[in-house]
Amino acid sequence: MAIEKLFGDSNRVVGLVGSRHQAKTSLALNELINLSNLTYVDKKTGENIKIEKYVYGVSEILKPYLKSKGIKFIENKEDILDLSIRNCIIYLDEIADVFDVSSQSKQQKRFKRFINRLNHLNVWIFFSTAENKFWNSFVCGLVENYMVKGVEYLALVNGTELKTKVMGISIYSDYRLVCPKNTYYIIGKEITEKNTFEYNPNLDSKKDNFNPFKEEKFIKETKEKNSDKNSDINGVNPFNLPVKTISEELK
């Protein structure tokens, strides 16, 4: 499990980097589901404490399946901002909707306090976003370990170690990291690894989306309609243009 390697002994934060439509959410949820049931013994009480699994920002379509796998939904982002949950691992989809970490924002300090509190509350966080420039020097200063999918280099910020390492992976393009949907990279402080994961249709909220413009039936019907219109035009005189020769018209 990649997530187990990246969290390690003391690391509490993992970033999931990638452009849109790169199966980031499927990868994250796959990692969360396959994560073995974690417990620890409370030193004060001797009680066995279970590490719960939570998600926020994930499509409601996936809710029944994820709940059947023991994953709970956080319904209110204020519960995240206040970090009122203890002893858990949380996946935040599209974290840019929760925190604005741009240099002009006043939320940077709040985000830093959020990260600093994780250890005290025994919480682990991994999060993703396709927001351009989210992975700036401020965020990269707080996050050391990443899972990386296909991403445009322009989405990353110059001068960050993340961008340097991502650009060091690819030999196929000067503009982007090309990555099949079932493939991802681990980028850690001391390691870069290439991995694959198995596609799970139960984790794909977009699998039933219908695009008529790419459907063969739609394209065929459109061609047939256009063909019929052309034949109609060829058989009539829609603009009442002259059909006789000039000499015939002058008689």
Give the chain as a 3 state SS string.
Answer: CHHHHHHCCCCCEEEEECCCCCCHHHHHHHHHHHCCCCEEECCCCCCEEECEEEEECCCHHHHHHHHHCCEEECCCHHHHHCCCCCCEEEEEECHHHCCCCCCCCCCHHHHHHHHHHHHHHCEEEEEEECCCCCCCHHHHCCCCEEEECCEEHHHCCCCCHHHHHHHHHCCCCCCEECCCCCEEEEECCCCEEEEECCCCHHHCCCCCCCCHHHCHHHHHHHHHHHHHHHHHHHHCCCCCCCCCCHHHHHC
Tell me the backbone φ, ψ of residue 40, rounded to 5 degrees: -145, 160
Assess whether pLDDT exceeds 60 at residue 251.
no
Query: Residues 22-31: what's their mean pLDDT?
Result: 94
pLDDT at position 8 is 72
Of 219 and 137, the one with more pLDDT: 137
Give me the CATH code for the 2-203 domain, please: 3.40.50
Region for residue 240 given its phi and psi (left: phi exceeds 0; alpha: psi -120 to 50; beta: otherwise): left
The amino acid that residue 163 corresponds to is K
Q: Which of 6-15, 118-127, 202-211, 224-233 has the highest mean pLDDT?
A: 118-127
pLDDT at position 235 is 53
Place 229 in a pLDDT band, splitting at 50, 70 and 90. low
Query: Lowest-pLDDT range, 82-86, 124-128, 245-249?
Result: 245-249
What mean pLDDT value characterizes the chain? 84
pLDDT at position 36 is 77
Of 73 and 238, the one with more pLDDT: 73
Query: Lowest-pLDDT range, 24-28, 111-115, 171-175?
Result: 171-175
Query: Residues 117-125: what's their mean pLDDT?
Result: 92
56-113: pLDDT as tens digits: 999 999 999 999 999 999 998 888 888 788 899 999 999 998 888 887 777 888 899 9
Q: Tell me the two tokens of residue 221.
A: 């019907």
Residue with tokens 């925190």: 99
Assess whether pLDDT exceeds 80 at residue 202.
yes
Place 137 in a pLDDT band, splitting at 50, 70 and 90. very high
pLDDT at position 45 is 84
Whole-number percent of the chain with pLDDT over 70: 82
Four-point Cα dihedral 170, 172, 175, 176, nearest 10 = -60
pLDDT at position 196 is 94
Assess whether pLDDT exceeds 90 at residue 158.
yes
Q: Tell me the two tokens of residue 90.
A: 């949380």
Q: Tell me the two tokens of residue 57.
A: 């920002």
**What gap in Å lies between CA 100 and CA 88, rounded to an integer?**
24
pLDDT at position 81 is 81
Instruction: Confirm if 90 and 80 have CB atoms less than 8 A apart.
Output: yes
Tell me the backbone φ, ψ of residue 188, rounded to 5 degrees: -120, -175
**What gap in Å lies between CA 11 and CA 19, rounded to an integer?**
25
pLDDT at position 238 is 53
Assess whether pLDDT exceeds 70 at residue 228.
no
Global pTM value? 0.80
